[in-house]
Amino acid sequence: MTISGKIFELIKEKGMTQKEFGRRTGIPQSTISDWKGKQLNPASDKILIICDVLEVSPYELLGAAESSKYVIPDHVIVQKDTEEYVLIERYRKLGKDQRERLLGYMEAIRNL
């Protein structure tokens, strides 16, 4: 199976539309359509963001025989001068109820 074929299979498994996939990856819809219509594969610089959005390892996406070689880390490193860092710092200052409420909002937004 081609990489693009695997991507479309994963998009379907995740219950995601191609439009949502494009929005979440920042890849134009026309490029995604080319993958399908012309049986092209994505550029190598897009593989990691695709894996992140589809929640798979590069080994799984690229069809490596032993996907167990790739271990998804249980921690994340975030640069201080980013929006992610600010979000994490603000989250840490919230009380338990506020955190639960925020996580509920985030889940609702994710399901849009």
- Residues 15-44 have a mean pLDDT of 90
Place 70 in a pLDDT band, splitting at 50, 70 and 90.
low
Task: Give the separation between CA 3 and CA 61, rounded to whole angstroms.
Answer: 7
As a whole number of Å, the CA-based R_g of the chain is 17
* 14 or 70: which leads in pLDDT: 14
- Residue with more model confidence, 31 or 1: 31
pLDDT at 65 over 70: no
Is the same domain home to 7 and 48? yes
Does 65 lie in the same domain as 104? no
Of residues 74 and 71, which shows the higher confidence score? Answer: 74
Is pTM beyond 0.85? Reply is no
Instruction: Identify whether residues 8 and 61 lie together within a single domain.
Output: yes
Domain span at 94: 74-112
Residues 11 and 54 in one domain: yes
DSSP for 27-59, written as a single string = --HHHHHHHHHS-----GGGHHHHHHHHT--HH
Average pLDDT, the chain: 87
